[in-house]
Amino acid sequence: AGKKPHYKQIVWVKLGNYRWWPAEICNPRLVPSNIQSLRHDVGDFPVFFFGSHDYYWINQGRVFPYVA
């Protein structure tokens, strides 16, 4: 806990009632422009979900490091 996530890191993400899902943290400058323009709060960062291939802006409280 307390470690900040970094770009390209694989993490587990929890959204609403969905189960934890694996995602990769993305550099905000490298995601598609339609994703860059989505509403998000200061400190949020984009993730790319594996399987669904969706992007989402997320805060650090909703991610957990993936440990192999």
Q: What is the pLDDT of residues 1-52, one digit of tens each?
A: 557 889 999 999 999 999 999 999 999 999 999 999 999 999 999 999 999 9
Structurally, what CATH architecture does the domain formed by 10-65 represent? Answer: Roll (2.30)
pTM of the model: 0.89
In this structure, how many other beta carbons lie within 10 angstroms of the beta carbon of residue 48? 16
Tokens of 10: 């694989």
Q: What is the mean pLDDT of residues 44-63?
A: 96
Whether 59 contacts 46, CB under 8 Å: no
pLDDT of residue 2: 59
pLDDT of residue 60: 94
